[in-house]
Chains A and B, each alone.
Chain A
Amino acid sequence: MKKSFKLTIVMLLALTVVLAGCGSKKDNTGSSASADTASSDAAKVKVGMVTDVGGVNDKSFNQSAWEGLQALSGAKAEYLQSTKPDDYETNLNKFVKGGYDLTWGIGMDLGDAIGKIAGQNPNAKLAIIDATVDQPNVKSVTFSENEGSFLVGVVAGMMTKSNKIGFVGGAQIPVIERFEAGFKAGIAAVNPNAELLVNYTGAFDKPDLGKTAASTFYNDGADIVFQAAGATGTGVFNEATARVRSGQKVWVIGVDKDQSLEFGDEVTLTSMIKRVDEAVKRVSQEVIDGSFKGGSEVLGLKENGVGIAETSSKNVPADVLAKVDEYKQKIISGEVTVPTTPTK
């Protein structure tokens, strides 16, 4: 009997905890408000950002988006990381129901969740990168990755010595296919003899797969590999770095950010920049200014949403860069149109 007594006490304790928790129902708004006052003035615009499962330190677009938010003046920025897809809705709701003025979803995976929550909360303002959500209160920002990839394709096509070039993609989804399509078209424009080897690893978070893919390409004689695979691409860089150290001359073309800053100039030929940070910053600024409108926009070369890294001149000769510039102008003027799906 003594034991059942103990158990009763335990149960009572558990119950009090539960009840105590229920009791504070009304305090919720109060406690989140106190969090604001703790972090300086409450009058500021609040912007929240939810990462996809890549997390905020993915060295790629989540990180880029967060840097954009941090660069914002006159707003309080906060992020929540999603560890699994279940978290998308709850994390977004945390900001939306917490009265944030704008909630970002980073990555196409969050498209469904954003759409659902936007429908449930017509007064909330949301925005998403890399997906198009058709709701009046959602700003969808997508990029013409094909245009930027075309330019690095030009670089690769002109600089390859073996006439074999590799492409490592994360997953075979429309966004990544745009990279491949543009890259392929860029190579073909300047070097019809070059061959493009393609490998979709099926994951954005598996550096080991990237390393294997890159290793296969380099063994097959490729001397330049373009990666559009998030953290999987880290493996591509690791493989290239190892080979460069052992005297082989191979290159990687980085993606999303200027990856030469991260992985060094000896392996990074150039990078295809996708200015997620600029887009995040600008749209958030619109909320601060009160000019935010739902809808979708596509950022290409013309809008300076994509491009090639400024540090490219370290490894890329001036005549190649001149050619890149020439094609850039042609794309902007509409003289060259870059395909969005890879031609077979």
Chain B
Amino acid sequence: MNKIFKIFSGSATVSIIAIILGLIVGAIVMLVGGYNPLLAYQSLFTQVFGNTYDFGETLREITPLVLTGLAFAFAARTGLFNIGGEGQFIVGMTAATVVGIKVTGLPAIIHAPLAIIAGGLCGGLWAAIVGYLKAKRGVNEVITSIMLNWIALYLANYIVRHFLLMQGKQRSEDILPTASITIQSLSDLMNSARIHWGMLLAVLVAVFFYYFMWKTKQGYELRAVGSNPNAAQYAGMNVGRNIVKAMFISGVFAGLAGAVQILGVFHNQTVMSGSPGTGFDGIAVGLIGMNNPFGILLGAILFGTLTYGSAGMSFGAGVPPELIRIVIGSIIFFIAAQGIVRWFIKPFYSKRKKEKVL
């Protein structure tokens, strides 16, 4: 247990301070804009925790963010910048939709997991393309994964439009009830908030992330490649294979996020005019969580709470939803610019221990 703390707590203080600074900056912007920040933050929390429905919907908002955040962090631990979470997310969605609609005659206990696995696997393979190109051809993963985002978006639209389209609508048919992962009993309990098994899955994936990365030999290799590929190679590790593996697992996480959104929330896939953005939000979540699985859980909770709560802010205090993005943006800014935060808290620490500033 202590190790978890060790990985986590060093960055925790910085994150917390960054969040507080971000909220303060947000409050200042609101003041300048003529809104009451206290009322706004209060309505934000009422929106999120005010009743069971909203609380359930907040969990729904958080779930995919956890998974895409983990996807980003997993690659980042291996020294890869996976900006393609968006594309892997979309591929995961599409695969889950296809399996959810086209595979028939299975009981729910097989069909739903099959659809989830299909989503994860396809997302993983999509990301593995990036890893392969990086390992074998040295192509920068940022470029290929961005490009693959667009390919994924239009490929998904093509598939929905030509194979799954519901007559007269801009969306696919509904997935079969056997593929749904909605937890109906809990959903009824929470005034029909969209609760689904993907929430549990997200937590399990975070635990898996921790276990795999820090408790297994393979995880050690991935981290070694991430810290210093040359040293890793010298130590006899296959750098190329580890890169592909890291991208694959990262893509699986993002693909799972897409799959649970379809199977648990929408139950059908629309023809998208633009990227849904969940994959990109995952990058922010990964940064807030300092690429640590448990930090990411908290980061996703924060991000999801702010996003879902923004409706409450515009409702209760008249603050436009764009402002909440400023708050989120400032939090990420302060986390990315850790130097500023360290400078802020330095006086508190140097009093106690001179040589060890954080």
Contact = CB atoms under 8 A, between A and B. Distances in A.
Contacts of B298: 14
B192 A21 contact: no
Given A4-B2, A202-B273, A86 B61 contact: yes
A3 B10 contact: yes
A15 B64 CA distance: 22
B61 A7 contact: no
Given A86-B61, A86-B265, A35 B316 contact: yes
Interface stretch (B48-56, B116-124, B328-336): B48-56
Interface in A131-179: 171, 173-174
A171 B170 contact: yes
B36 to A, nearest CB: 11
A4 B9 contact: yes
Interface residues of B, number: 46
Contacts of A90: 54, 57, 308, 311
Nearest to A5: B9
B242 interface: no
Contacts of B273: 53, 171, 202-206
Contact of B43 (A22, A25, A31, A173): A31
A80 B314 contact: yes
Interface string B229-269: 00000000000000000000000000000000000011000
Interface stretch (A64-72, A91-99, A300-308): A91-99
B170 A109 contact: yes
Contacts of A27: 46, 50
B187 to A, nearest CB: 11
A28 interface: yes
A256 to B, nearest CB: 18
A90 B315 CA distance: 12
A35 B266 CA distance: 32
Interface string B183-224: 000000001101000000000000000000000000000000
Interface string A106-138: 001100100000001000000000000000000
Given A90-B311, A206-B273, A10 B16 contact: yes
Main secondary structure of the interface of B (DSSP, over half): helix
Interface size on A, as a range, is 35 or more
A32 B298 CA distance: 29
A46 to B, nearest CB: 12
B13 interface: yes
Contacts of B9: 3-4, 6-7
A97 B53 contact: yes
A83 interface: yes
Interface of B: 2, 5-6, 8-10, 12-13, 16, 42-43, 45-46, 48-54, 57, 60-61, 157, 168-171, 191-192, 194, 265-266, 270-271, 273-274, 276-277, 298, 308, 311, 314-316, 321
Interface of A: 3-4, 6-7, 10, 14, 18, 21-22, 24-25, 27-28, 31-32, 35, 53, 78, 80-81, 83-87, 89-91, 93-94, 97-98, 108-109, 112, 120, 171, 173-174, 202-206
Closest 5 CB pairs of A and B: A21-B49, A3-B9, A28-B50, A203-B273, A4-B5
Given A10-B12, A31-B42, 8 more contacts: A4-B2, A14-B298, A27-B50, A89-B194, A90-B311, A98-B315, A173-B168, A205-B273
15 contacts: A6-B9, A7-B8, A10-B12, A28-B46, A31-B46, A81-B314, A85-B270, A86-B266, A90-B54, A91-B311, A97-B191, A171-B170, A171-B273, A205-B274, A206-B273
